[in-house]
C-alpha cells in the first residue's frame, strides 16, 4: 500500500473528524502513511494546566543533513452549520471534480500532497540525500499553545536541527501558482481604559467625560499612518476593534470608557518599537487639549494582549528559488513572493530555520462546503516533488 496518491491520502485524512482539540484519528492515519516509507514516527502530547492535552506528530527519514522540514496541522475548524453543507463535512465525497470536506484546503490537502510527493521521490530516487521530517500539530486552529511552539522546543531539545522549512498552508488566492509567502507581518493587540469622572450631563465642569478621552486617544492611533510600506511589505495598519462605554442614560456623563485595537505591522518596526510608538501617540493625545480644553491630561491605562506575533522576512535564496522555480516549472506561473495575510505557525518556525509557505488555493478555507479541485491535488504533488528534488540537488551541490 503506497501513499503516493494525494487523492486517497486526503480522503483518508478528511474522514478523521479532527476538530481542535480532537486528534480524530488523523495523526494515526498520517503515521500509517509515513511508516511504510521508512519514516520514524513519534507522537508528542503537550499539556498545559486548564487546557485539553494536544497530540502532535514528528516524523523523520534520514539521519544526515541537509534537513528539510515540512510543517502543518491536521486539526480543523468546526463544521459550522452542518445542514448547509452539500456533502458531508467528513465524507471526502468527490463531485464536479472537487473533493468536499473540512480541512480539504486548510490544510489536510497540503499534507496529503506532501506525503505523496515524498513517496514518489523515494520511489524514483530512493531515500533523500539528507533528511526529510514532518512536524505536524493538532493545535493550530485553536489556542496554538500546545502545538508547533512546544513541538519545536521538544524536537530541538532532542538535537533536531533543520536547514529549511516549507509550511503547507493554503497560500494561493485564486489559482495554484499565484503566491508563495516568504514572511509575515507582526501583530500586536491592546486595550486602553480611560478613567474620567462620572457626573450630571448638565454640570459637565464637575465631571470628566471619558468619551472625550477615548476619542482623542483612538484618533491618535488611527492617524497619521504608521509608515508607507516597505520593499516586501504593505503599510502597517491599526484597527480600533471596539469602543465600550455602556452608558444607558442620556443625562449621565460616563466616567469610564475602554477601547481595543490590533495593529498588523511591517519590518519598519519590531513588536517592541511599535508598542513604544503606540504609547508615545497615546501620551501625546492625552496631553492634547482639543476635546478637553483646560483639563489635565487624560488618565488612561493600557493592557497588551499576551504574546505579540513578530514580523519576519525569509531571505534564504536557495529555499525561495527552489520553491518558486518548482511552481513555475509545473504551472507556468511565476508566483508572487508575498508577506500579506494573517499570521501562521511560520512565525514560530522562523526562529529555528528559514521558512516559506506554499499550499492549495485558500478560497473555501473555514467555510461551509470547504473543497479542493481534485486536479490541484495532483498539481501540488508534482510541485512539491519538484521542489524536493531541486532543494536537495541544490543543497548538496
Q: Which chain residues interact with Zn ion by CB under 5 A?
A: 106-107, 169
Spatial separation of the C-alpha atoms in residues 133 and 69, rounded to whole Å: 5
Q: Which is nearer to Zn ion, 106 or 227 (CB)?
A: 106
Residue 90 to residues 28, 55, 248: CA-CA distances in angstroms? 16, 20, 47
Min dist CB 277 to Zn ion, Å, is 31
239 annotated binding-site participant: no
318 three-class SS: helix
The grid coordinates of residue 115 equal 506525503
378 annotated binding-site participant: no
Q: Which is nearer to Zn ion, 77 or 302 (CB)?
A: 77
**Is 328 marked active-site?**
no
Spatial separation of the C-alpha atoms in residues 240 and 263, rounded to whole Å: 9
The grid coordinates of residue 375 equal 486536479
Catalytic residue, candidates 23, 139, 140, 385 = 140
Cβ-count burial of 160 within 10 angstroms (0-12 exposed, 13-18 middle, 19+ buried)?
A: middle
Q: Report the sign of the C-alpha dihedral through residues 220, 223, 224, 229, in that order.
A: positive
Min dist CB 176 to Zn ion, Å, is 17
Q: Which is nearer to Zn ion, 139 or 208 (CB)?
A: 139
**Is 174 marked active-site?**
no
Spatial separation of the C-alpha atoms in residues 48 and 145, rounded to whole Å: 8
Catalytic residue, candidates 75, 178, 345, 370 = 75
Spatial separation of the C-alpha atoms in residues 355 and 181, rounded to whole Å: 9
121 annotated binding-site participant: no
Min dist CB 71 to Zn ion, Å, is 11
Task: Give the residue nearest to Zn ion (CB).
Answer: 106
Min dist CB 365 to Zn ion, Å, is 7
64 annotated binding-site participant: no
Q: Which is nearer to Zn ion, 23 or 227 (CB)?
A: 23
Spatial separation of the C-alpha atoms in residues 119 and 140, rounded to whole Å: 25
Q: Which is nearer to Zn ion, 128 or 168 (CB)?
A: 168
The grid coordinates of residue 87 equal 456533502
160 annotated binding-site participant: no
Residues 6 or more apart in contact with residue 205 via CB below 8 angstroms: none
Min dist CB 106 to Zn ion, Å, is 4
Residues contributing to the annotated binding site for Zn(2+): 73, 106, 141, 169, 366
Active site members: 75, 140
Residues contributing to the annotated binding site: 73, 106, 141, 169, 366
Amino acid at each position: 500500500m503506497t501513499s503516493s496518491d494525494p487523492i486517497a491520502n486526503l480522503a483518508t485524512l478528511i474522514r478523521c473528524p479532527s476538530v481542535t482539540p480532537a486528534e480524530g484519528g488523523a495523526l494515526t492515519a498520517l503515521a500509517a502513511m509515513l511508516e511504510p516509507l521508512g519514516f520514524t514516527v513519534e507522537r508528542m502530547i503537550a499539556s498545559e494546566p486548564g487546557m485539553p492535552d494536544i497530540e502532535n506528530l514528528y516524523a523523520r527519514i534520514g539521519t544526515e543533513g541537509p534537513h528539510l522540514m515540512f510543517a502543518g496541522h491536521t486539526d480543523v475548524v468546526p463544521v459550522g452549520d452542518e445542514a448547509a453543507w452539500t456533502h458531508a463535512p467528513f465524507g471526502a465525497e468527490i463531485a464536479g471534480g472537487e473533493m468536499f470536506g473540512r480541512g480539504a484546503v486548510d490544510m489536510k490537502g497540503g499534507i496529503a500532497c506532501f506525503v505523496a510527493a515524498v513517496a514518489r521521490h523515494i520511489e524514483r530516487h530512493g531515500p533523500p540525500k539528507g533528511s526529510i521530517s514532518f512536524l505536524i500539530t493538532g493545535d493550530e486552529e485553536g489556542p496554538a499553545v500546545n502545538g508547533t511552539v512546544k513541538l519545536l522546543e521538544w524536537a530541538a531539545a532532542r538535537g533536531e536541527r533543520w536547514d529549511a522549512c516549507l509550511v503547507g498552508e493554503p497560500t494561493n488566492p485564486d489559482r495554484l501558482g499565484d503566491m508563495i509567502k516568504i514572511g509575515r507581518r507582526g501583530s500586536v493587540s491592546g486595550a486602553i481604559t480611560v478613567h474620567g469622572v462620572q457626573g450630571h450631563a448638565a454640570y459637565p465642569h464637575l465631571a470628566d467625560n471619558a468619551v472625550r478621552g477615548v476619542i482623542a486617544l483612538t484618533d491618535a492611533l488611527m492617524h497619521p499612518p504608521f509608515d508607507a510600506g516597505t520593499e516586501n511589505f504593505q503599510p502597517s495598519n491599526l484597527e480600533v476593534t471596539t469602543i465600550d462605554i455602556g452608558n444607558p442614560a442620556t443625562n449621565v456623563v460616563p466616567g469610564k470608557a475602554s477601547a481595543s485595537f490590533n495593529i498588523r505591522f511591517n519590518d519598519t518596526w519590531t513588536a517592541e518599537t511599535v508598542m513604544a510608538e503606540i504609547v508615545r501617540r497615546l501620551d501625546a493625545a492625552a496631553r492634547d487639549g482639543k476635546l478637553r480644553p483646560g483639563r489635565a491630561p487624560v488618565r488612561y491605562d493600557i493592557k497588551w494582549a499576551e504574546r505579540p506575533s513578530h514580523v519576519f522576512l525569509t531571505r534564504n535564496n536557495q529555499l525561495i528559488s527552489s520553491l518558486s522555480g518548482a511552481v513555475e516549472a509545473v504551472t507556468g506561473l511565476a508566483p508572487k513572493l508575498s508577506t500579506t495575510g494573517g499570521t501562521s505557525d511560520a512565525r514560530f518556525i522562523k526562529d529555528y530555520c528559514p521558512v516559506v509557505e506554499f499550499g492549495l488555493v485558500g478560497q473555501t478555507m473555514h467555510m461551509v462546503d470547504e473543497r479542493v479541485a481534485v486536479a490541484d491535488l495532483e498539481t501540488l504533488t508534482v510541485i512539491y516533488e519538484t521542489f524536493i528534488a531541486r532543494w536537495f540537488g541544490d543543497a548538496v551541490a
